[in-house]
């Protein structure tokens, strides 16, 4: 699907979409329990992959429309009847690799071309270290994966600078092993707030895990049990980042774009509020009411470290192209291991719109000037966050911007273009 975005003036109220990260974890945690209802879930291509996985390991997952109803497999996942297709979802692949390690038997995972290009080596090594077996069919540390359990727990040593999702997976599965799992990190942990999300969710499901010097620890022999048998998913700040950025660059004069359902949680991506504030945006966050408002503002470039918040890179890069002066995004090498190499792809596509951009291994510098941005044809590269960030740039660029491959918003924010349209954006499919 190609989507045309024209220079627009926005106003009105949008509801924050539910968090992808919490939804994945809640579905799996409910699978690890006797059963639970997950309210306000994100129903998207990625979270459907996790639903399929929980079904495949012996759970029963139903989307009732009001909630996801999960009949769990408890601590005893069974051998899936078929190869598991994790589609485009890194979170699914990593989290349920932990589940596969608990199974007394062999599980095979695959996914789309993007997923099969992403690193899984540290997870395979962790499963080996715990007494299971993890293989990549091509021997390159990437899916298709063949995993053999069961593990009984122990200590693993893995790098922290590839993906935090290995840590989340080992903590979630480790609670169901006999001995528990201790994770020693060989490097500093990138994307660390995503492990905080895991710890917060585990706590809500009655499971204790902790951060320690140089790593994490979860005791074994625990039980997943959410209080009252239900879990409520908070709003997603990665998704909110596009709506805030859209308001900051294209809100109608004297009008504000308002976002509801934006309550504080462990999400590192709330950092977007600080970033916009530092860029000079007129932005307010009423944390008690969960309401964010933003007005169109003249933005200036900033230096930002995205070590904790990789998913904000495309949004900040798009804002940097519109802001005046230099925006430097640092500590972003791990952002190259996502659905695409987002550092390279944002550099390429913002250049196509007329921005001046410089790429280094772990930094992206954008020399912003809104008047240089001219609508053009840009490629979403099959990556939901690239599509949404380019759509934001298109709201400010002169004329019309056509984003190709735009259907991939279904991975995390399926009604993104409807929400943008309802706020007054010129959107044509």
Ligand X SMILES: O=C(O)C1=C[C@@H](OP(=O)(O)O)[C@@H](O)[C@H](O)C1
Which residues define the annotated binding site for 3-phosphoshikimate? Answer: 20-21, 25, 163-165, 191, 311, 338
With CB under 5 to 8 Å by kind, the binding choice for 89 among ligand PEP, ligand X, none is: ligand PEP
Radius of gyration of the chain measured on its C-alpha atoms? 21
Q: How far apart are CA 347 and CA 366, in angstroms?
A: 8
- 8 Å CB contact between 412 and 19: no
Q: How far apart are CA 205 and CA 36, in angstroms?
A: 10
Q: What residues between 332 and 371 interact with ligand X by CB under 6 A? A: 334
90 binds ligand PEP (CB under 6 A): yes
- Give yes or no: 324 in active site: no
Q: How far apart are CA 166 and CA 126, in angstroms?
A: 8
Q: What residues between 192 and 211 interact with ligand X by CB under 6 A? A: 194
Point out the catalytic residue in the list 40, 71, 269, 311: 311
Which residues are annotated binding-site positions for phosphoenolpyruvate?
20, 90, 118, 165, 342, 385
* Position among 7, 8, 163, 365 found at the interface with ligand X (CB under 6 A): 163
Query: Rounded to 5 degrees, what are φ and ψ at 91?
Result: -60, -45
Nearest to 329 by CA among 343, 350, 348: 343
Beta carbons within 8 Å of 418's beta carbon, 6+ residues apart: none
310 binds ligand X (CB under 6 A): yes
Give residue number: closest CB to ligand PEP: 90
Q: What residues between 377 and 396 interact with ligand PEP by CB under 6 A? A: 385
Q: How far apart are CA 223 and CA 175, in angstroms?
A: 8
Contact characters 10-49, ligand PEP, x per CB under 6 A: ------------------------------------x---
Helix 20-32 to helix 45-56 angle, to the nearest 10 degrees? 10
Of 7 and 89, which has the nearer Cβ to ligand X?
Answer: 89
251: DSSP letter: B
Q: Which stretch binds ligand PEP (CB under 6 A): 89-97, 174-182, 203-211, 370-378?
A: 89-97
Query: Angle at the Cα of 367 (from 366 to 373), degrees rounded to 5?
Result: 95
Nearest distance, CB of residue 395 and ligand X, angstroms: 23
Q: What residues between 80 and 139 interact with ligand X by CB under 6 A? A: 91
91 binds ligand PEP (CB under 6 A): yes
Q: How far apart are CA 425 and CA 401, in angstroms?
A: 12
Beta bridge partners of 412: none
Give residue number: closest CB to ligand X: 163
Nearest distance, CB of residue 163 and ligand X, angstroms: 3
Helix residue ranges, H only, 135-209:
165-174, 193-204
Q: How far apart are CA 97 and CA 398, in angstroms?
A: 46
Of 71 and 161, which has the nearer Cβ to ligand X?
Answer: 161
Q: Which stretch binds ligand PEP (CB under 6 A): 86-94, 258-266, 326-334, 346-354?
A: 86-94
* Position among 23, 89, 99, 222 found at the interface with ligand PEP (CB under 6 A): 89
Helix residue ranges, H only, 82-188:
90-102, 121-129, 165-174
Residue 5: how many CB atoms within 10 A of its CB? 29
Of 52 and 334, which has the nearer Cβ to ligand X?
Answer: 334
User: Catalytic residue numbers?
Assistant: 311
Binding residues vs ligand X (CB under 6 A): 21, 91, 163-165, 168, 190-191, 194, 310-311, 334
Binding residues vs ligand PEP (CB under 6 A): 46, 89-91, 311, 338-339, 385, 412
């Amino acid at each position: 699907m190609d989507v045309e975005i024209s220079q627009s003036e926005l106003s009105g109220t949008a509801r924050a979409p539910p968090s992808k990260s919490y939804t994945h974890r809640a579905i799996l945690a409910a699978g690890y329990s006797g059963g639970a209802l997950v309210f306000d879930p994100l129903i998207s291509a990625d979270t459907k992959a996790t639903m399929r996985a929980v079904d495949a390991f012996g759970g029963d997952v139903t989307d009732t429309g009001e909630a996801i109803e999960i009949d769990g497999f408890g601590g005893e996942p069974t051998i899936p009847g078929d190869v598991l297709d994790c589609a485009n979802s890194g979170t699914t692949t990593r989290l349920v690799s932990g589940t596969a390690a608990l199974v007394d038997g062999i599980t095979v995972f695959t996914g789309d071309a993007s997923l099969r290009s992403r690193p899984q080596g540290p997870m395979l090594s962790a499963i080996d270290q715990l007494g299971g077996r993890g293989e990549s069919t091509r021997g390159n540390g990437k899916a298709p994966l063949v995993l053999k359990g069961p593990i009984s727990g122990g200590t693993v040593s893995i790098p922290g600078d590839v993906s935090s999702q290995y840590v989340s997976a080992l903590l979630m599965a480790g609670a169901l092993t006999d001995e528990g799992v201790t994770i020693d990190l060989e490097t500093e942990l990138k994307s660390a707030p995503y492990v905080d999300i895991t710890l917060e969710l585990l706590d809500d499901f009655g499971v204790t895990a902790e951060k320690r010097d140089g790593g994490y620890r979860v005791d074994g022999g625990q039980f997943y049990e959410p209080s009252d048998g239900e879990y409520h998913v908070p709003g997603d700040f990665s998704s909110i980042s596009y709506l805030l950025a859209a308001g900051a660059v294209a809100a109608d004069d004297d009008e504000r774009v308002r976002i509801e359902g934006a309550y504080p949680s462990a999400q590192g991506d709330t950092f977007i509020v600080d970033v916009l504030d530092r860029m000079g945006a007129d932005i307010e966050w009423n944390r008690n009411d969960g309401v964010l408002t933003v007005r169109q503002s003249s933005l200036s470039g900033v230096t930002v470290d995205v070590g904790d918040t990789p998913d904000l890179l495309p949004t900040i890069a798009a804002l940097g192209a519109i802001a005046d002066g230099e925006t430097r995004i640092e500590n972003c090498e791990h952002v190259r291991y996502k659905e695409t190499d987002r550092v390279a792809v944002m550099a390429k596509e913002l250049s196509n719109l007329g921005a001046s951009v410089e790429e280094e291994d772990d930094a992206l510098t954008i020399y912003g000037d809104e008047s240089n941005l001219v609508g053009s044809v840009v490629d979403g590269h099959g990556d939901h966050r690239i599509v949404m960030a380019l759509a934001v740039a298109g709201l400010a660029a002169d004329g019309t911007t056509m984003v190709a491959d735009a259907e991939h918003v279904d991975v995390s924010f399926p009604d993104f273009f409807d929400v943008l349209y309802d706020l007054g954006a010129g959107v044509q499919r």
